[in-house]
């Protein structure tokens, strides 16, 4: 099988090889924390060769609505690794989110956010928390495909793909293996979204079998997030889709008390981007008091990603030692714990002095113990038989009695295609609807072959697409306003569509 490495030749990288990195200094506190971080990397012998890129506020305000210069794309494509300080997105309309642009253009499919509690040095209720959230980054509701279809109704398409699920789930297990993690938890809502979240869950169960040494379990996202918030110590690696991951990533960082401490990675097949999770903190910019820890932890992730796990550990352990010694930036000051409030650069100096030391109380960083080698195979599409068995036709109709539109559609028999049912917002309203069901102007009308009957998984007879088109012509000629259609398929004899509630 042909393999794509998500890492730059991880096995061959030695800890003193030059790593070229596209570096964005960002806005607000960005330049201050980037200086501190690069100084620590240099002192640790990380051998990073930074190449500056222009992105962010100034680029936006110069009239570039994407916030990134063309030359920056060239630098990124040459270096493949990005270290990015936070940027300020100017207020007002027309500015596109730079993070979304980078993520989508570069195919950064995995958003990885380790969230650790550093009690008692950082205030938290969850001393033992050490969770890594692996969030799918490219699809789901974030595909951004939205339409207003009628006066009453707007929709957003939730797209989940098999290749997308395979990549992210495998990445989560490979990550666990590479960094000595013990358990991967999948979070979905497949009791409701049986096809979309069901696919994610099924792929999780399939791939989990390939990693018997790693414990795996699944939770429904609502109770899962509640449990994460109540007992984060029970979680190790969590893998989930885009929207759920967005939400639980913030829950996790918030309860760990480490919004200013956590780094994150956006991993793609060819390019990877590392950044702090906080923003550009304009309120404290220029005051030399910003905490560089978030960006530094992102840089530690960068180093382990390229295989420099030893140097990553050295830096992380020096950082942990500095926290233990009580040298803290103002944002993490605690009366009993902090020995001295230090500036951004003094904090960096302390870390540099501590290179080579290991923490006495906080858990030691030991990234070098894992194999650090993450390989994601390319997707192979399996052959399946796809059979058209009907069509859902969505009609804009301003009446409110389902029996009127139902009886009218029911009298239509076009080339042996016949109305099976009508739903409004997913609830069956014809035939035999409940009169309490509220109806909008958005009617989903299911048409199938007149002779279809349900036999096990096989539901409807095959129809041909010409009949589907003829049916639409007929409906149009009879005065119905079609707003969209959705073909009904079976794949290898399995229904590829949900039934209406009450169907």
Which positions touch ligand NAI (CB under 6 A)? 29, 86-89, 99, 260, 275, 278-284, 290-291, 294, 331
Beta-carbon neighbour count of residue 331 at 10 Å? 17
Q: Which residue is nearest to ligand NAI (CB)?
A: 279
Which CB sits closer to Mg ion, 273 or 459?
A: 273
CB within 8 Å of 92: residues ≥ 6 apart: none
User: By three-state DSSP, how is residue 168 classified?
Assistant: helix
Contact call for residue 325 and Mg ion (CB under 5 A) = no
Report the partner that residue 187 touches, choosing among Mg ion, ligand NAI, none (CB closer than 5 to 8 A by kind): none
Which CB sits closer to ligand NAI, 216 or 280?
A: 280
Compute how many residues bind Mg ion; rule: CB under 5 A. 1
CB within 8 Å of 200: residues ≥ 6 apart: 160, 165, 169, 186, 188, 190, 240, 241
Give the nearest distance from C-beta 246 to Mg ion in angstroms: 4
Give the nearest distance from C-beta 250 to Mg ion in angstroms: 6
Which CB sits closer to ligand NAI, 283 or 466?
A: 283
Cα–Cα distance measured from residue 285 to residue 130, given in angstroms and rounded to the nearest whole number: 30
CB-based burial, 282-310: b 16+ in 10 Å, e otherwise: eebbeeebbbbbbbbbbbbbbbbbbbbbb
Cα–Cα distance measured from residue 389 to residue 178, given in angstroms and rounded to the nearest whole number: 46
Q: What interhelical angle do 309-325 and 30-43 show, nearest 10?
A: 110
Torsion sign (Cα): 254, 257, 258, 264: negative
Give the nearest distance from C-beta 294 to Mg ion in angstroms: 15
Give the nearest distance from C-beta 240 to Mg ion in angstroms: 13
Which CB sits closer to ligand NAI, 99 or 452?
A: 99
Which CB sits closer to ligand NAI, 161 or 344?
A: 344
Which CB sits closer to ligand NAI, 290 or 421?
A: 290
Report the partner that residue 87 touches, choosing among Mg ion, ligand NAI, none (CB closer than 5 to 8 A by kind): ligand NAI
Give the nearest distance from C-beta 357 to ligand NAI in angstroms: 23
| Inter-CA distances, 374 with 6, 161, 176, Å | 6, 21, 10
Q: Is the peptide bond before 431 cis (omega within 30 degrees of 0)?
A: yes
Which CB sits closer to ligand NAI, 38 or 421?
A: 38
Q: Which residue is nearest to Mg ion (CB)?
A: 246
Token reading at 452? 């279809």
Report the partner that residue 246 touches, choosing among ligand NAI, Mg ion, none (CB closer than 5 to 8 A by kind): Mg ion
Give the nearest distance from C-beta 108 to ligand NAI in angstroms: 13
Binding to Mg ion in span 235-274, by CB under 5 A = 246
Report the partner that residue 225 touches, choosing among Mg ion, ligand NAI, none (CB closer than 5 to 8 A by kind): none
Which CB sits closer to ligand NAI, 290 or 300?
A: 290
129, 119 in Cβ contact below 8 A?
no
Which CB sits closer to ligand NAI, 104 or 310?
A: 104
Cα–Cα distance measured from residue 306 to residue 295, given in angstroms and rounded to the nearest whole number: 17
Report the partner that residue 75 touches, choosing among ligand NAI, Mg ion, none (CB closer than 5 to 8 A by kind): none
CB-based burial, 99-128: b 16+ in 10 Å, e otherwise: beebbeebebbbbbbbbbbbbebbebebee
Report the partner that residue 294 touches, choosing among ligand NAI, Mg ion, none (CB closer than 5 to 8 A by kind): ligand NAI
Per-residue binder mask for Mg ion (CB under 5 A), 456-495, x = binder: ----------------------------------------
Report the partner that residue 279 touches, choosing among ligand NAI, Mg ion, none (CB closer than 5 to 8 A by kind): ligand NAI
- The span from the first CA to the last CA of the chain, in angstroms, equals 44
Which CB sits closer to ligand NAI, 294 or 500?
A: 294
Binding to Mg ion in span 348-387, by CB under 5 A = none
Cα–Cα distance measured from residue 478 to residue 358, given in angstroms and rounded to the nearest whole number: 79
Closest alpha carbon to 447 in 374, 392, 370: 392
Give the nearest distance from C-beta 91 to ligand NAI in angstroms: 8
Name the residues that contact Mg ion, by CB under 5 A.
246
């Amino acid at each position: 099988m042909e393999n794509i490495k998500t890492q730059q030749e991880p096995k061959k990288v030695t800890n003193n090889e030059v790593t070229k990195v596209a570096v964005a200094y960002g806005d607000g506190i960005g330049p201050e924390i980037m200086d501190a971080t690069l100084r620590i990397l240099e002192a640790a012998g990380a051998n990073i060769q930074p190449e500056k890129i222009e992105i962010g506020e100034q680029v936006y305000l110069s009239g570039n609505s994407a916030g990134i210069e063309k030359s920056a794309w060239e630098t990124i494509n040459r270096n493949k690794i990005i270290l990015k300080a936070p940027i300020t997105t100017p207020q007002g309309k027309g500015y596109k989110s730079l993070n979304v642009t980078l993520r989508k253009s570069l195919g950064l499919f995995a958003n990885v956010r380790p969230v650790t509690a550093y009690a008692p040095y950082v205030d938290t209720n969850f001393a033992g928390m050490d969770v890594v959230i692996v969030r799918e980054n490219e699809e789901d509701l974030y595909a951004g495909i939205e339409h207003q279809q009628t006066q009453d109704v707007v929709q957003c398409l939730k797209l989940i793909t098999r290749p997308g699920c395979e990549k992210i789930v495998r990445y989560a297990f490979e990550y666990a293996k590479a960094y000595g993690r013990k358990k991967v938890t999948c979070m979905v809502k497949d009791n409701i979204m049986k096809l979309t979240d069901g696919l994610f869950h099924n792929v999780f169960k399939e791939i989990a079998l390939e990693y018997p040494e790693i414990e795996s379990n699944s939770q429904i996202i609502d109770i899962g997030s509640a449990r994460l918030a109540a007992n984060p110590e029970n979680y190790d690696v969590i893998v989930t889709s885009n929207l759920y991951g967005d939400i639980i990533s913030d829950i996790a960082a918030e309860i760990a008390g480490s919004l200013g401490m956590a780094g994150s990675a956006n991993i793609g097949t060819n390019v990877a981007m590392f950044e702090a999770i906080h923003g550009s903190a304009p309120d404290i910019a220029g005051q030399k008091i910003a905490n560089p820890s978030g960006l530094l932890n992102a840089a530690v992730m960068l180093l382990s990603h390229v295989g420099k796990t030893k140097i990553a550990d050295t830096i992380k352990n020096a950082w942990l030692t500095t926290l233990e010694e009580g040298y803290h930036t103002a944002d993490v000051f605690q009366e009993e714990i902090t020995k001295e409030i230090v500036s951004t650069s003094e904090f960096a100096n302390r870390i540099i002095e501590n290179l080579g030391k290991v923490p006495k109380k906080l858990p030691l960083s030991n990234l070098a113990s894992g194999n650090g080698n993450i390989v994601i195979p390319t997707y192979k599409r399996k052959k399946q038989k796809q059979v058209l068995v009907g069509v859902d036709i969505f009609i804009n109709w301003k009446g409110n009695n389902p029996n009127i539109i139902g009886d009218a559609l029911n009298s239509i028999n076009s080339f042996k295609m016949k109305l099976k049912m009508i739903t409004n917002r997913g609830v069956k309203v014809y035939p035999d609807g409940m009169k309490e069901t509220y109806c909008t102007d958005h009617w989903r009308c299911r048409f199938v072959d007149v002779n279809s009957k349900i036999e096990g998984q096989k539901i409807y007879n095959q129809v041909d697409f010409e009949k589907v088109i003829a049916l639409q012509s007929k409906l149009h000629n009879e005065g119905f306003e079609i707003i969209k259609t959705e073909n009904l398929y079976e794949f290898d004899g399995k229904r590829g569509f949900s039934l209406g509630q009450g169907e």
